[in-house]
């Protein structure tokens, strides 16, 4: 996927800027990162190509290795079990890299899980924020600065499902609009298309004694299903959902082991969606 003309450029050199730091790009990076995918990568998978500077392209290697090591050490997938064996990819990386081994051992708890704090938490923050920056640019032609992203949450799928995380992020379906200005009633407006209810409620609290029932106006919002994008089914799946505060939250389902959520500003219309067969959301994509 080539560089986009709408990407910010340097007024002095006329070059595209790095999608991660805003510096001059002199190389290309890919999203999602290969370390979080099953290898060897099948020919049907096409990674998104991003303009990046050499520093950003190389400075995340240790962070990605740390994230992959914790994923392999905590996951139950057959491939992850193999990778954490002494002769596996993660096992060999831990044996040869004393810094990585020390980081992982320092944050290991007695029950075999890992505490996401300190330097390990920094690794997770850098990796998953970088992933969101890459996916946002690749799919929606948008550049998101690191300081616009919310700190990622990482949850174990033994205790929570992706759908449960999405339900927490989305605003309630029944929304109180009593005190909000109503739009003009038109044949195509949402007041006609979507249900609106008047509910009679009982006042609560010590000050409600003797008060009459109150009526409130509620709007039932029908949420559309998440458009899941499966780069590798069961390995790397993601989708975007709008949160109650209007942010775009990327939900990552990794190896059916973790649910990761990273929030960014919601761009108007999220688009236009990038054209081209290499974009999994494009109508031009050949399945």
Render 79-128 in DSSP notation, one character per residue.
HHHHHTSTTSHHHHHHHH-HHHHHHHHHTB-TTS-B---HHHHHHHHHHH
Judged by average pLDDT, the poorest of 31-40, 92-101, 251-260 is 31-40
Q: Does the CA dihedral 274-278-284-287 come out positive or negative?
A: negative
- Give residues with Cβ within 8 angstroms of 283, minimum separation 6: none
Report the pLDDT averaged over residues 168-191: 78
Distances (CA, A) of 22 to 8, 51, 145, 189, 268: 8, 10, 8, 41, 22
If one counts every other C-beta atom within 10 angstroms of the C-beta of residue 125, the result is 18
178 close to 201: Cβ distance less than 8 angstroms: no
19 close to 50: Cβ distance less than 8 angstroms: yes
Share of the chain above pLDDT 90, in %: 43
How many residues are recorded in the chain? 287
Checking if the pLDDT of 49 tops 70, the result is: yes
Structure tokens at 5: 């003309």
- Give residues with Cβ within 8 angstroms of 205, minimum separation 6: none
Checking if the pLDDT of 33 tops 50, the result is: yes
pLDDT band at 275 (very low <50, low <70, confident <90, very high): very low
Share of the chain above pLDDT 70, in %: 83
pTM over 0.95: no
The pLDDT assigned to 23 comes to 86
pLDDT band at 3 (very low <50, low <70, confident <90, very high): very low
- How far is residue 256's CA from residue 253's CA, in Å, rounded to a whole number? 6
Q: Does the CA dihedral 116-226-51-68 come out positive or negative?
A: positive
242 close to 249: Cβ distance less than 8 angstroms: yes
Count of alpha carbons within 13 Å of 65, Cβ hemisphere only?
21
Tell me the Cα Rg of the chain: 23
Structure tokens at 266: 């919601």
């Amino acid at each position: 996927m080539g560089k986009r003309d709408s990407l910010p450029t340097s007024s002095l050199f006329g070059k595209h800027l790095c999608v991660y730091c805003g510096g001059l790009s002199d190389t290309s990076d890919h999203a999602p990162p290969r370390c979080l995918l099953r290898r060897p990568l099948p020919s049907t998978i096409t990674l998104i190509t991003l303009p990046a500077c050499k520093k950003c392209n190389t400075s995340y290697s240790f962070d990605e290795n740390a994230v992959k090591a914790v994923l392999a050490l905590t996951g139950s997938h057959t491939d992850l079990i193999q990778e954490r064996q002494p002769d596996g990819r993660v096992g060999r990386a831990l044996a040869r890299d004393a810094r990585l081994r020390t980081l992982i051992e320092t944050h290991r708890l007695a029950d075999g899980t890992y505490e996401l704090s300190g330097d390990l938490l920094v690794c997770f923050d850098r990796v998953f924020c970088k992933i969101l920056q890459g996916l946002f640019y690749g799919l929606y032609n948008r550049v998101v600065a690191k300081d616009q992203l919310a700190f990622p949450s990482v949850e174990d799928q033994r205790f929570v499902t992706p759908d449960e995380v999405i339900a927490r992020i989305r605003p309630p379906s029944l929304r109180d609009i009593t005190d909000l200005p109503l739009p003009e009633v038109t044949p195509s407006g949402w007041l006609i298309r979507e249900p609106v209810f008047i509910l009679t409620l009982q006042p609560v609290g010590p000050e409600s004694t003797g008060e009459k029932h109150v009526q409130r106006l509620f709007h039932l919002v029908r949420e559309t299903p998440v458009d899941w994008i499966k780069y590798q089914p069961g390995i790397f799946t993601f989708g975007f959902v709008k949160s109650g505060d209007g942010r775009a939250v990327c939900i990552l389902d990794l190896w059916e082991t973790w649910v990761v959520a990273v929030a960014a500003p919601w761009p108007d219309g999220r688009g236009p969606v990038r054209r081209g067969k290499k974009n999994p959301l494009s109508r031009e994509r050949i399945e």
